[in-house]
């Protein structure tokens, strides 16, 4: 009987000994103690692409595959960045019981807060059909957009990242008007192309920057001007008729 491989979790392990645990499909990224924005998006995309055969099988289970994705990515970030603390289901939002799927923290570095959303059979078969994934990820975008991040987790990058694996859902999502009011903020990547009977795999993401709060801030006020929510009911009332500036929106984009 083949013995299971032991996963080393000692964060004092040397880079050379830890390197042996890194899966061969992980992209060749610059060595850092903590991932940056490009690293996070690239690693999640590489994981999804490598596991696409499994994803296609698990998709048909009504329980979905989001929980499995969360666990796998938490382990992967722990393996790749042993000096970074990787947490699941952390309470990061001020005055809210909502929890973040993944939170990466390292002293001296900005926190990475990640909300995950994956397409599921239950979702696709529910009323709304192909529209449900976009609605669901928009809910996560609204979650990171409208919930104030607690000061202990700032400064931070906050992500809403989704994965889709059915052509009809992909095609609906590729019509960016369906992402309104976030159609100018959503970014996407084709991770696996469609071939024959195998549908394409896509990733979708919006990333926000949440700066550290000024000294003396009571941490209970609404967003500052520099971090206004992406979508507001009346731009005129918030921005006095002016389009939000790049500094106000704090949207970080990765080229497709």
Strands 99-105 and 85-91: antiparallel
Q: Rounded to an integer, what distance in angstroms lies between the CA atom of residue 164 and that of residue 234?
A: 32
| Run of H or E including 201 | strand 201-210
pLDDT in tens, 202-250: 999 999 999 987 765 544 433 333 444 444 322 222 222 333 333 333 3
pLDDT in tens, 116-155: 999 988 888 888 889 999 999 999 999 998 888 999 999 9
In this model, does residue 196 exceed pLDDT 60?
Answer: yes
Q: Rounded to an integer, what distance in angstroms lies between the CA atom of residue 156 and that of residue 172?
A: 31
Domain ranges of the chain: 33-214+221-249
pLDDT in tens, 44-57: 999 999 999 999 99
Look at residue 153 and give its three-state secondary structure.
Answer: helix
pLDDT in tens, 5-48: 444 444 444 444 444 477 889 998 999 999 999 999 999 999 99
pLDDT averaged over every residue in the chain: 80
Give the tokens for residue 83. 């000096």
What is the strand order of the sheet 85-91 is part of?
85-91, 99-105, 111-118, 156-164, 201-210, 187-192
């Amino acid at each position: 009987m083949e013995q299971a491989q032991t996963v080393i979790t000692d964060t004092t392990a040397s880079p050379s000994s830890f390197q042996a645990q890194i899966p061969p499909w992980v992209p060749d990224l610059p060595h850092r103690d903590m991932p940056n924005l490009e690293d996070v998006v690239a690693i999640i995309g590489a994981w999804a692409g490598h596991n696409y055969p499994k994803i296609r099988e698990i998709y048909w289970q009504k329980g979905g595959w989001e929980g499995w994705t969360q666990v796998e990515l938490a382990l992967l970030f722990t393996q790749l960045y042993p000096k970074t603390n990787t947490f699941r289901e952390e309470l990061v939002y001020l005055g809210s019981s909502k929890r973040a799927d993944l939170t990466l923290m390292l002293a001296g570095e900005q926190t990475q807060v990640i909300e995950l959303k994956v397409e599921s059979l239950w979702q696709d078969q529910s009323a709304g059909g192909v529209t449900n994934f976009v609605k669901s990820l928009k809910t996560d975008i609204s979650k990171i957009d409208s919930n104030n991040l607690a000061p202990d987790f700032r400064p931070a990058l906050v992500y809403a990242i989704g994965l889709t694996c059915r052509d009809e859902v992909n095609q609906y999502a590729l019509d960016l008007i369906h992402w309104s009011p976030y159609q100018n903020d959503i970014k996407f990547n084709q991770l696996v192309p469609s071939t024959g009977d195998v549908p394409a795999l896509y990733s979708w993401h919006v990333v926000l920057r949440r700066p550290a709060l000024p000294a003396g801030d009571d941490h209970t006020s609404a967003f500052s001007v520099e971090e206004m929510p992406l979508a507001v009911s009346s731009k005129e009332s918030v921005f006095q008729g002016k389009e939000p500036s790049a500094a106000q929106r704090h949207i970080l984009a990765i080229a497709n």
